[in-house]
Structure formats: C-alpha cells, structure tokens
Structure 1
C-alpha cells in the first residue's frame, strides 16, 4: 500500500491503466465473493424447507463466506489491495492510503460485481429470489447497527494489521486467510441476529435483485462507521510516526 497521503487523485488517475486494472480486479473479486456467499444461502434454501435455523447450517454459512473471501482477496490483493468491500475502501480512504478518485472506482466496481453476481444467481437458481440480509425477529435495527459497527471494525482493523501496515513483513502473506477467517467467525457471532454483512456491497446486490430493502440502511451505515473508525484508529494510534524507543534483536533459533 502507498504511504499515508490525502489526495483527491491525479488528473490522469481516472483513465490510467492501473486504475482500470484495480477496478476490474475489485469487480471480479466482489463477484466471486457475493456469488459464493449468497449462493450458499440459496443452496441451503433449496435443501431445507426451514433454512438457517440450526447450528450446522450457520457453520456452513460461515465457512462459505470465509472460503469465498479468502479466495476473492487472494485473487486481487496484488492488483487492487484486495478490498472487496466498500467499508474497507472507506477505512483506507480515511487513513490516507487511497485517493478519492480510486475510492469511487472501487465502490462502483464492488457494487457492480455484487449486482452481476446476484443477477446470475437469480438466473441459475431458476427464479429463486436472492435473500440478502435482514434484522432477525426480536432484534432492533439499533442493535443490528451496533453489531455491524463492531464486526466491521474488527474486520478493517485486521485488514490494516495484515495487509496495510508497513511493518507487517511476512505477515502479509497470510492476510487473505486472516481476513477470511475473521469474517467466518463474525458470521457465527452475528449471523443469527442480523446476518453479519460487514460489507455494503455484499448486502446491496442481493437486496436489489430480491427487492428486499427492510432495514437495508443498517448494512451501509454500520459497516462504513466501523470501517472508517478502524482505519483512523490503526492509522493514527497504532502505526508509529516516530522512531522506536528501544530496538531488539530476535533470538537465534538455538537460544530457545
């Protein structure tokens, strides 16, 4: 990732091949993620008459989202940074790691990828409506909002720690796996309450094709607040701007 630098974007950035390639990578990766994530929901609805009501089905959902996001990030991290999520892009924007122009490109690409994935799911599942996300019965939108803020904060904080932090070193090689596993864990936590979106693009395509908009704002406001807060916290409180007070040399293997 580039060093912290707040900028609207260069005059040629909108048409530069790097921007086009990065937007294409975000489109394809978001398509992969939404197709697998939402498709697993439709698959369970095809198998079970009363889906998503047992622990085993929740585990299936968590694994599907974790595996799909792991693959989607791995496929695009070398081209676009592997955001696959408008909330991650927003956190990087507030942290000065991406320009406004490229942010807009990423958001458009992510939303289009989600819509195309949902459209194809609508076609291949023989007219089944995409499900998307909704706040569960007995859970207020306010509770869903706070849940989305907390889960997305953890997600974007992990993205920063493993993929953006200049000190990440070899940890960057497992960034896609770490991020995917955290999303899977958060699905186990938030799935029974609000579906655990943590991603406005993941929520938007299925909502549009299934025309399910109840409490949809929750899945925009919550992730953007949580992602933006994580970007600011990690950028200004965790990444150091001064030389370290103490330095140390790692122990040699024989010293253990």
Structure 2
C-alpha cells in the first residue's frame, strides 16, 4: 500500500542543493503559468472595459491556461517534475512519490511564484489582478465538489502520463496532456467557480488584491481532489511497481 511509501524526509533534505534547485524551478514555472493565465484575464477585462463574461472570453481563458501550463510543466519537468500546483505536489506526497519536506519547499516556491507574478502584472498593466470567486447562484458546496472533481481529473492525468513508471513513450506528451485537461476543465467550471484546480493560482491574486471571500474553497477542493487522485492511482494501478524516492541520500 502507498501509505508505507509516505515519508517525512530528513531535515537536511529541505536545504539540499537539489531540493533548492527544484524549488527554484517550481517558482519559475508557477510564475510563468500565473503571469500568462491571470494576464489573459486582465487583457480580456481591458479589451471589454470590464464587460460581462462571454463564451469567447471563456474559450480564450481556456486556451491561454492550457498553453501556459504546457510550457510551465515542460520547462520544470527535468528539474522538479513540473508540479506547478500544490494539489499536484500533495497528490504526489499521498502516493509516496515525494517527501513531505521536499513537498513543503515546492509549495512555498509555488505560492511565491504566484505572488510575484501577480505583483508584476499589477505593475506592468496598472490594473488589478482578478481574484477567484463564485459566480452568482453557485453555492459553496457546489463549488467545493466542482473543484474536487476538476482537480481529480488533473492530478489523475499527471499520474497517468508523468508519474506512472510504466508510462513509456506516453511521458513525452505529459505536459501537453496536462495542459489540455486544465483547458478542458476551465471550459467546464470556469463559469461557476473559476476552475482553479490550483491553490497557488488563487493565492497570488488573493494576496495582491486582498480578496479572501470563500478563498478556502480553492484550497480544500483541489487538495482533496488531488489527494484522492494520487491515492487511487497509486493503490489501483501502480501499487508496488514504482521505485521509492531515494530519501536516504539526504
């Protein structure tokens, strides 16, 4: 069972050069993703004079996030694994594919990358970074379940195309598959909860705009969905076939 593969990690791991390099890669990848994704929303608001959301705007957001995540995962894959998302990191931890201490470094780097991207967007555009929020008529329970389901699909895709040791040549398309599922999920949930699937993506804009209404939804939903995906894929499809992380090297 994957529970035996879950590891806290040694204290030295948090400051190991490889961990710090991986953290820097996560910072840069998350910065790239948030700058392009949130930047596309700012551009839409400017072009429409803060007009109402439209199907064209939703499609544009979907494409921008899919392309940006494809790149962000690709540039970080060989260094950190290209998580770009605390929910992905948590899913990897639940499946025993990353230690807790290394995961914490990843999450901190992801959050900082999102904050810096949001600050720079505010500076270069002179406009506010839109914070995530629920659409009119969408209940809190509905939004939590939606974020759980959307993030489950995302992290399940990550496991199937990037984590599974039997992925073979499928691993070469992992970044584009991950980008595609995020783009598709935005088409599903963008009009309801904003389809975050990523606590870091919501955290940066929330800090910069200081908007925290229902912010907890964008942590609980993605972390539950990501954790379930990691646990289910590990138990049912990988189980004992993958190699344990070499944490004893630290």
**Who is 1:231 aligned against?**
230
Worse overlay, 138-147 or 45-54: 45-54
Alignment-derived partner of residue 142 in structure 1? 141
- Paired position in structure 2 for 1:247: none
Matched, 1:190 2:167: no
Cα deviation for residue 211 of structure 1 reads 1.4
Unaligned runs of 5+ in 1: 243-256
Deviating above 6 A after TM superposition, structure 1's stretches of 4 or more consecutive aligned residues are none
- Inter-CA distance 237–131: structure 2 relative to 1 (3 Å threshold): same
> Partners of 1:41 and 1:69 in 2: how far apart?
15
Describe the SS at the equivalent of 1:135. coil
Specify whether residues 174 and 191 from structure 1 end up closer, same or farther in structure 2 by C-alpha distance, changes over 3 A only: same
CA change 1:172–1:51 in 2 (3 A) is farther
* Deviation by residue 1:77-105 (Cα, 9 ceiling, x = unmatched): 00000000000000000100000110110
Instruction: Say if 1:62 and 1:14 are closer, same or farther in 2 by CA, change over 3 A.
Output: same
Counterpart for residue 252 of structure 1: none
Change (3 A) 1:50 1:123: closer
In structure 2, relative to structure 1, the CA distance for the partners of 1:50 and 1:236 (3 Å cut) is: same
C-alpha distance in 2 between matches for 1:211 and 1:16: 34
Give the TM-score normalised by structure 1. Answer: 0.90
Larger Rg: 1
5+ residue gaps, structure 2:
242-250
Q: How does 1:55-134 map to 2 (within 5 A)?
A: 55-126=55-126, 128-134=127-133
Report the Cα distance in structure 2 between the residues aligned to 1:151 and 1:91, rounded to whole angstroms: 14
The answer to which of 197-206 and 209-218 deviates more is: 209-218
* In 2, Cα distance between equivalents of 1:38 and 1:231: 27
1:52–1:184: structure 2 CA closer, same or farther, 3 Å change rule? farther
Shift of 1:141: 1.2
Q: State the distance in 1 between where 2:218 and 2:128 align.
A: 19
- Map of 2:17 onto structure 1: 17
SS at match of 1:133: coil
